[in-house]
Structure 1
């Protein structure tokens, strides 16, 4: 049998045999740690270089230097990340309180970058909505749950449609001088049963026993009256229904 041909070796294949140790520049093999050219044609020469004390020492020094840099910057990076998160979430809360759409942030970014510390870290509106808004919402929702927990609330419910012609049911709780929207539900069908289900679920989420609600305020739609008569009244003995002639919301 004819002898097998040896595998063709090039500077690039030799480099690939030692991942992250060497690189190729102008067909010359260079050591990443020692910054010198190595004769790549003989593997023994390459192996001897990798085993040399100088190379081993250079590798150790570089790895230790990288570790020190990571240790020195980890805490400061973490602190910056927390500061950035707080700034962005406070900005979202301020916009919500002022009833300003988050889309307006985009036109204010140059001003923030120029005049506010860390203002350059404020992202555009899509990132605010997708990444940061859910956390702000959850914090506000927990505050609402804490405030209305086990309170004898008055309830306002009304159904409307959004821009996409979807049915939307809004639920508002009132207690003393606080009037808050606590739930927005999109329903495929709006009837006495689905309205009752929405209210039961909302009361459960806010830990409000069924014997505490005092007033149910709605429009005069037939399904609202039926919901009170057949679903709410049997479960909530203290609840009074006050239907209005016009839409509420």
Structure 2
């Protein structure tokens, strides 16, 4: 007796032909391509439908397009769930992309953009209004980002980078960055918090930091160092953190800010040169027509056409770049201003027209002095502006180079070009020389005091003594065990490694440096290559290298903050700005 199949077994047998069970209670089987019922009890009926029904093959080849059928409740529920999930994913991914690219969500409401998206992006018509995107989907992204940061910092050693600024509402904004310390060639940098404070003082700053550490479940023992500027309230903030977080917390003051303080001495001392820079800036400021005429003048005079780089107070090195321009283009500026009308052009033109030959000589001499003696300062500031490479081990050596340059100037010893200019202007020799010597003396005194008062002085000296290739080359291959032990006690990570392992690993480090001393030695590459043979030593040594000695990443975060909270977006909530800054900053690093 032949076996009797059930409706489900018959549907599975002809599943490739599009047969399915439409009603399991009434035992109805249908063909999804033809949208008709099929007698499932007789196999012959199924075969006839598949082979003799002419429309079946055509519908099957077309995938059932054009054939309408009533879907089941299960299919309907499943389809609605899928569509809802796809709609949610599209909205969330759109918000994430726009926030990371710092594109205001309001742009999605523009009719032109909506029309373009409806034309070329399937499903974009389901995107809700920007206010809904911000209130619903940005909130969910905020939760995801917080969980992501928690996972990234879990059990990891981190350093804190903090700074404060004033936003467009006049509020005090305090930003806290996490830098995850890892034994690799790159480090992960995260925006942990952006808090609006009532006042910029030590109590509120320390409270904000502790709240952020608690929020992300960071163990206090895993906080290695705290990098900030040298403001007094930040120093008091660190004193509070030594009590609240850890007494072993390493305090590092930003050396980019400190070098800027040294540079301010040059601006104040060389008053005549600074006056020339400011007058030139005033002339070209917000004047497209004057800039155009000046470039035309340089071109006609067969001189390389280049605009004056206007100095900005908040941009490091911009004043020195302006002085470099004066050093090269002062004769051409004098010729150009002769073509200007003093009555209509203002005080800048009058200043240049009334400039005597003696004053021109003073300006040329002072500009040449700045170009020659500030080259090391400018280069060091540019290095400190970068954060994609370690610099803690090279900082002290570079600062000593600066001290040497300032010492020579303070001892009345100048570079050849400056000396030649001084000797050629006998009438101005003593007065100008006294100004230049005084500038060198005050710069040397300021830099020396900053080095002596640095709270991380022991750390910087130890890093330089152990890992600066120049220091290693001077000391040779022999390792002084007593000196090495004294140095590593002042380094956060290496002090926890057994001394025997440090001694073995450091000996190999010195050998590798001395073998390649004729080349451009990269101590980071050498330490990374030792991870396989001396893992504990090399891992902790690399982490020491990556401890930041400048706070430039906080400045970059503030620049991004200003772009997000523009004049047209001042109504953004503080918590929304926080998550937007975190996502935008993370996408660019």
Q: Same fold (TM over 0.5)?
A: yes
Alpha-carbon contact 2:166-2:172 (below 8 Å) kept: yes
Tell me the alpha carbon deviations over residues 220-243 of structure 1, each in whole angstroms, 9 at most, x when there is no partner.
1111101112x1123313311112
Counterparts of 1:73 and 1:171 in 2: how far apart (Å)? 49
Q: Deviations over 1:106-162 (max 9, x none)?
A: 232212211112111012322211121110121122111110123210101111122
1:233 lines up with 2:242 in the alignment: yes
Higher relative contact order (CA 8 A, sep 6+): 2
Would the aligned equivalents of 1:157 and 1:172 in 2 still touch at CA under 8 Å? yes
Equivalent position of 1:36 in the other structure: none
Q: Residue 72 of structure 1: CA displacement?
A: 5.7
**Matching residue of 2:29:** none
How far residue 105 of structure 1 moved from its aligned partner, in angstroms, is: 2.0
Q: Which residue of 1 aligns with 2:81?
A: 78
Cα distance between partner residues in 1 of 2:142 and 2:84: 20
Residue 91 (structure 2) aligns with: 88
Counterpart contact for 1:215–1:240, Cα < 8 Å = yes
What corresponds to 1:55 in structure 2? none
Deviation string, structure 1 residues 2-52 (Cα, Å, up to 9, x no partner): xxxxxxxxxxxxxxxxxxxxxxxxxxxxxxxxxxxxxxxxxxxxxxxxxxx
Contact 1:109 1:122 in 2 (8 A): no
CA-atom RMSD in angstroms: 2.1
Residue number in structure 1 paired with 2:165: 160
Give the match for residue 181 of structure 1: 191
> What is the SS of the residue equivalent to 1:211?
helix
Secondary structure class of the residue paired with 1:194: helix
Unaligned runs of 5+ in 2: 1-70, 259-550, 556-589
Q: Give the conservation status (yes or no) of the 8 Å contact 1:113–1:119.
A: yes
Residues in 1 aligned to 2:159 and 2:213: alpha-carbon distance in whole angstroms: 11
Task: Report the equivalent of 2:153.
Answer: 148
Contact 2:162 2:227 in 1 (8 A): yes
Mapped partners of 1:160, 1:198: distance in 2: 15
Shift of 1:75: 3.0
Residue of 215, 220, 223 corresponding to 1:213: 223
Structure ranking higher in strand proportion: 1
Q: Of 168, 176, 179, which aligns to 1:171?
A: 176
**Structure with the bigger percentage of helix:** 2
Give CA deviations for 1:67-103 in whole Å, capped at 9, x if unaligned.
x987663332222111100011111111222232222
* Aligned equivalents of 1:210, 1:104: Cα separation in 2: 43
CA distance in 2, matches of 1:223, 1:109: 50
| Whole-Å separation in 2 of the counterparts to 1:71 and 1:121 | 24
Give the alignment partner of residue 214 of structure 2, picking from 204, 208, 223. 204
* Residues 1-249 of structure 1 mapped to structure 2, 5 A cutoff: 73-107=76-110, 108-175=113-180, 176=182, 177-229=187-239, 231-234=240-243, 235-244=245-254, 245=257, 248-249=554-555
Which consecutive unaligned segments of at least 5 residues does structure 1 have?
1-67
TM-score when normalising by structure 1: 0.67
Between 168-177 and 234-243, report the one with greater CA deviation: 234-243
| Residues matched between the structures, number | 181
Which piece of structure 1 moves more, 175-184 or 234-243? 234-243
1:176-229 CA-partner distances (Å, limit 9, x unpaired)? 410111111111122111111111111112222112211101111111101112
Name the SS of the counterpart of 2:223 in structure 1. Answer: coil
Who wins on radius of gyration, i.e. which is larger? Answer: 2
Partner SS state of residue 140, structure 1: helix
Q: In structure 1, what is the Cα distance between the partners aligned to 2:189 and 2:223? A: 14
Contact between 2:146 and 2:216, CA under 8 Å: does it hold in 1? no
